[in-house]
Structure 1
Amino acid sequence: MQDVELIRPLDNTAVLALHGEHDMATREELARLLSDEICANDLVVVDVSDAVFVDSSFLHNLVKADRLASARGSRFVLQMGTARIVRSAIEFSGLLDVLACASSREEALSQAPTADAPIGSGA
């Protein structure tokens, strides 16, 4: 997918750094990529720092990814950016109250499960 950079900063961790626009045109491919990465990793971070536009189909993909991660016993984190239109879409959708969010890559990666803090412990 041209507008997604897949980064593997740690074992069992994937970061999907999104660039450009994410809407109906990228919906199916992004859904497949999210599903594949969640099934293969303990932590998946979606970084929207460089995204310039998202629509409701993208937001729906985030919800589905979060549910899949929960069902699988892994973690899904949204790394927020500063693009006003993207931040507004996510805020207005109410997803900030539902999804685990981070303001930086370091903060997002710190949410990786460890032996001391198993998934579901809130740590």
Structure 2
Amino acid sequence: MPIAFNKKAFNVLYSVFAIFSCLALGKLCSYVAPALPSSLYGLMFFTLSLHFRIFDAEHIKSTVVWCLKHMGVCFVPAGVGIINHFDLIKQFGIAIILITFATTFILLTLVGLYYQHCLAGEE
């Protein structure tokens, strides 16, 4: 008796294979060149493999949409950490907010100036 083709199961297995193979390559790169975390290397491999059509994005799309839909579960530990350190946030909350806004503003300004410098070099 032939096994029935289940497209959804195939897409999930294909997605898991694609993601884990890119993560494995990221681990290997991180071992060889430890400049970045292995997950960032894996993310770069995943992005490049989709861009150059090594993996079919249509097969991966449903799994990625499901992961994004349930991503909030991953951020629950961060929320628990904030609640556990609420006294520190009460004590230094204004400083944390000011530092966050100041560093974000400085970073965006530097990136904008660098981008303008790069554009001026192309003309």
Q: Above 0.5 in TM-score?
A: no
TM-score bucket (shorter structure) = under 0.3
| More contact order relative to length (CA 8 Å, sep ≥ 6) | 1
Give TM-score, length-normalised by structure 2: 0.24
Structure with the largest fraction of strand = 1
Structure with the largest fraction of helix = 2
